[in-house]
Amino acid sequence: MINFYKATDLAKQILIENVENKNISVDFTLGRGNDTLFLSENFKSVYAFDIQKECIEDFEKRNIENVKLIFDSHENVDKHLQFFDCGMYNLGYLPQGNKTITTLKTSTITSLTKASNMLNIGGFISIILYVGHDQGKEESLAVLDFCRGLDNKNFNVAYLNFINKNFPPSLVLINKVR
Ligand SMILES: C[S@@+](CC[C@H](N)C(=O)[O-])C[C@H]1O[C@@H](n2cnc3c(N)ncnc32)[C@H](O)[C@@H]1O
């Protein structure tokens, strides 16, 4: 049964069930590595991006063979790979980390523009949005605007929100169909 408690868990369950090919995956925001770990257990390979050296070094210690760690902004995704089947964004700042280092509207939209072109047919991108802080609100609005603009001949896009909670993280799913 699907666990409806957290947007992050919901994303993982939907991705496992629905991504057609479990080959190349991308974690666009490595952070503490929970999503990268999930991807490494379910996909042949993972590319994981973060702009904080600490996140890269922490994950490196786990020595997981099918994960390629990339110390670069996700807006440069096209410099590191060509296509992928599944991508995860968990926006905002690192929990228990430096709150001033956060994903930003402009680079996130650049990254999403590239990622939606690089996504294989049958693939999915999940995005966790946070509206609990000002930067997050602004970024969330920009991401939702971007997603609304995706051509519905090529993409199905769904938006899931826990509407009986205060400022809950929400989930966007992008599925490329053609
Ligand atoms: C909410 S945390 C990610 C949580 C993570 N997925 C996990 O499982 O712990 C957001 C992360 O995005 C990173 N980040 C911020 N801007 C970025 C960018 N332009 N490119 C890549 N990572 C970025 C931050 O350093 C932070 O580690």
pLDDT digits (tens, 9 = 90+) for 96-118: 899 999 999 999 999 999 999 99
Kindly state if the Cβ of 139 falls inside 6 Å of ligand 1.
Answer: no
CB contact at 8 A, 116 and 125: yes
- The two tokens of residue 162 are 């826990």
Q: How confident is the model at residue 2 (pLDDT cuts 50, 70, 90)?
A: confident
Any domain includes 2: no
Mean pLDDT of 35-51: 98
Any domain includes 18: yes
- The two tokens of residue 49 are 């991006």
Which CATH number covers residue 115?
3.40.50.150
Mean pLDDT of 27-52: 98
Which atom of ligand 1 is nearest to 34's Cα? 8
Number of structural domains the chain divides into: 1
Mean residue pLDDT of the chain comes to 96
Kindly state if the Cβ of 101 falls inside 6 Å of ligand 1.
Answer: yes
CA distances from 81 to 115, 139, 164 (A): 10, 25, 39
Any domain includes 52: yes
Any domain includes 51: yes
Any domain includes 1: no
Rounded to whole angstroms, how far apart are CA atoms 65 and 51? 21
Helix (H, G, I), strand (E, B) or coil at 169: coil
CA-derived radius of gyration, the chain: 15
Which residue of 28, 30, 38, 76 sits with most ligand 1 atoms within 8 Å of its CB, as the best mutation to test the pocket?
A: 30
Q: Whose CA is nearest to atom 27 of ligand 1?
A: 31
What sign for the dihedral angle of Cα 74, 82, 143, 107?
Answer: positive
Dihedral in degrees, nearest 10, Cα atoms 115, 57, 37, 105: -30
Segments forming the whole domain that contains residue 57: 7-176
Kindly state if the Cβ of 103 falls inside 6 Å of ligand 1.
Answer: yes
The residue assigned the tokens 């650049």 is 110
Which atom of ligand 1 is nearest to 108's Cα? 19
Which pLDDT belongs to residue 33? 98
Any domain includes 59: yes
